[in-house]
Amino acid sequence: MSNYVIGIDQSTQGTKALLFDDLGNIVYKQSRSHAQLINKDGWVSHDLDEIYQNVILLMNDLVQHAGVPLQEIVGVGLSVQRETAAAWAKGTGKSLTKAIVWQDDRAVDIVEQLQRAGLAEAVKAKTGLTLSPYFTAAKLSWMLSNVPAVKSAAQQHNLCMGTMDSWLLYRLTHGKQFKTEPSNASRTQLLDIHSVQWDQQLCDAFGVPIDALASIEQSNALFGETDFDGIFPKPLPIHCMLGDSQAALYGQGCESVGDVKATIGTGSSVMMNIGDQPVQSNDVVTSIGWKINGRMTYVAEGNINYAGAVIRWLVHDLKLIDSANQAESLARQAVPEDQTCLVPAFSGLGAPYWDSRAKATLTGMTRTTGRPEVVRAALNSIAFQINDILTAIDEKLGIKTQILKVDGGVTANGYLMQFQSDMSDVIVDVPDIEELSAFGVAYCAGRALTVYGNLKLNTVLRYHEYHRSMDSTRRQAILTQWRQAIAQVCQVQNVEATV
């Protein structure tokens, strides 16, 4: 009899459900998108109930079409978009407001107030995170101040708040389990990453009631059981939860110090395993990768707000291309000498610039600039930002990355992967599985369930390698153009260090 494990990846644009066999092979996959609710101020929200229903619909599709005996499906792993803030009623599980998505910067005034109060250094020391509206705490604080239903639930001690993992777990277990784990908790800016506990002083600073937060378990704990609203005849154990970027790091097999990967989805996360002790940096943040079998793994990370979202902007807003698949061929048609450069600061800039009020700009245009050149500039902006983060991490840890593992749908763009290799002077490894976050949590859950006891990841993943092909003079000239563009839109300290 075979054993199968479900990997669910609830991401920014949609939710994927994959079924893996006991050799780690994908035997079924399906996805459903959800609405991106963007108002005139650029605030980005998601409907929590729509997302939950998509999970249920995906499980129904899996049962109907996967073609495997249900009794051979033994467990579930859950990966989620991080930092996105949710609030719901403890008694009923009813969502109290739309989720505030990680990209959303509506809480910038709250963050600036805390900065003026002199709390930035204390927050960074405890959480490893630069004080920013990007993280969950300020979003939760905004809800408590601006959404009457959330404020009322807090006053009545009937409030649950947290990240998407705790929301989905609560609903999947019909309110029996209200839990999270360190990779997601460490991205809230409410967790002391040294003690791995919610911090009362941080909660007080943001005005978040600590009793509204989930209990913290290790990442491969038995979080609870679910039959997905009666779809499965027998409840399945949920035996892993991870933030999507950490899940991809785990799925890439980056379990040794110095291993690094970049997840390139709507945004991008460049993440390096730094071992069992946190390391502080001004340019990038420190988070928890996972806690598995009692062992803590920390990561250094830089995040990009707009990566794949830049391509979506080209398609849906500028209408320069009909689909993401067109981007590569157009970029290859661009005039080589054209110096058009896009800084995609549509919701400010994260690491290593940390300028929440930076605005997007397109510079360097000439009469030769046309559709191909703008598309190429958009793709290049992804690689430039990843390179700046990778440089900051390397400098902090005193190493030079040799191999960058990548994942996410954008990695299918061969032009971008080669340009990334050229700019960062690394070998870029692209796996033959795009869905590394779903694979990571399924692999983690499967190990906890002893399905993958002897499975080695190098027997599952196959990589296509990109090697640097650009000469140093041209590389430095292109990076200088990017550095000058960045200097126009934000106050960058020691700009020279970013190339």
Q: What is the pLDDT of residue 493?
A: 41
Q: What is the pLDDT of residue 499?
A: 38
76 touches 236 (CB < 8 A): yes
Amino acid identity for residue 245 in this structure: S
**Domain 4-243 fold:** Nucleotidyltransferase; domain 5 (3.30.420)
In sequence order, what are the residues at sequence separation of 6 or more whose Cβ sits closer than 8 angstroms to the Cβ of residue 356?
A: 105, 108, 111, 132, 133, 134, 348, 349
The CA distance from 220 to 181, in Å, is 9
Q: What is the pLDDT of residue 494?
A: 42
Give me the mean pLDDT over the 477-486 stretch: 95
Q: What is the pLDDT of residue 395?
A: 85
Q: What is the pLDDT of residue 491?
A: 58
Residue 255 neighbours by CB distance under 10 Å: 14
Residue 332 neighbours by CB distance under 10 Å: 12
Q: What is the pLDDT of residue 461?
A: 86
Please give the sequence-ordered ranges of beta strands (E in DSSP) within 93-145, or none if there are none.
99-100
Q: What is the DSSP letter of 316?
A: I
In the chain, where the domains are located: 4-243
By CB neighbour count within 10 A (0-12 exposed, 13-18 middle, 19+ buried), where does 455 fall?
Answer: middle
**DSSP three-state, residue 302:** strand
Average pLDDT, the chain: 93
Q: Is the dihedral of CA 127, 133, 135, 138 positive or negative?
A: positive
The CA distance from 81 to 241, in Å, is 11
* CA nearest to 359, candidates 340, 372, 344: 344
What tens digit of pLDDT does each residue of 147-182 get? 999 999 999 999 999 999 999 999 999 999 999 999
Q: What is the pTM of this model?
A: 0.87
Give me the mean pLDDT over the 141-146 stretch: 98
Q: Which residue has the higher pLDDT, 186 or 279?
A: 186
Q: What is the pLDDT of residue 458?
A: 63
Give me the mean pLDDT over the 61-75 stretch: 95
What tens digit of pLDDT does each residue of 178-234 get? 999 999 999 999 999 999 999 999 999 999 999 999 999 999 999 999 999 999 999
Q: State the SS3 of 407-473.
A: ECHHHHCHHHHHHHHHHHCCEEEEECCCCHHHHHHHHHHHHHCCCCCCCCHHHCCCEEEECCCCCHH
What tens digit of pLDDT does each residue of 342-386 get? 999 998 888 888 887 889 999 999 999 999 999 999 999 999 999
* CA nearest to 252, candidates 5, 461, 25, 17: 461
Q: Of 141-155, 274-288, 445-459, which gets the smallest average pLDDT?
A: 445-459
Residue 484 neighbours by CB distance under 10 Å: 14
In sequence order, what are the residues at sequence separation of 6 or more whose Cβ sits closer than 8 angstroms to the Cβ of residue 371?
A: 320, 330
In sequence order, the β-bridge partners of residue 79 are 9, 242
In sequence order, what are the residues at sequence separation of 6 or more whose Cβ sits closer than 8 angstroms to the Cβ of residue 137?
A: 188, 189, 190, 202, 206, 208
Structure tokens at 170: 């609560």
Q: What is the pLDDT of residue 57?
A: 98
